Homo-oligomer: A and B are copies of this chain.
Amino acid sequence: MTPTAAAADGRVAAEAAAAAVHLLRDRRETLAVVESLTGGLLAATIVDVAGVSGVFRGGLVVYATELKSQLAGVPADLLAERGPVDPDVAAALAEGGRRRCRADWAVATTGVAGPEPQNGQPVGRVYVAVAGPDGGSVVREFDLPGNRVAVRCATVTAGLRMLAERMRIGP
């Protein structure tokens, strides 16, 4: 990916963050994040939006597999059975992070940024989960193209768009 393409990806992610923050402020609801492959980029994109402090609580960067259990409360047997790149693990990350950060909503990311496949999953395979005030969560699978930077940036945008969509639909 060229630097120009990376900058364009960053702008798209920033726009998705601004839209999500706008919705949260309108609803007077709060957000937390739980990040594996994005490693802090989702949180950093959110805090770049002006006036975010009323709605963004913070989050967990669970890069090492054990931290997915220790910090976010993902059942250790689920992680042992499926590995970290799994839709049910993504859902458990979002639900656990939402509770532990005491937020109304949480967005969680897990996947393979590359350059090598991981636990039998190809580079670019990503699961994003959004947990909401009803206690449940929705998960989507993505196969994202490009290098590590492109995969991470596209994951951030996907998570923020899923959050906005979920807020518009309900609950």
Contacts and interface: CB of A to CB of B under 8 A. Distances in A.
Interface of A: 3, 7, 33, 35, 38-48, 50, 53, 56-64, 66-67, 70-71, 100-102, 115, 148-149
A20 to B, nearest CB: 15
Nearest to A42: B40
A62 B100 CA distance: 12
Nearest to A43: B40
A41 B44 contact: yes
A6 B26 CA distance: 31
Nearest to A7: B3
A50 B113 CA distance: 11
B63 A61 contact: no
B43 A61 contact: yes
A63 B41 contact: no
Contact of A66 (B7, B35, B42, B102): B102
Contacts of A45: 40
Contacts of A42: 40
Which of A64, A66, A115, A148 has the most chain B CB atoms inside 10 A of its CB?
A64
A150 to B, nearest CB: 12
Contact of A57 (B41, B50, B67): B67
B47 A58 contact: no
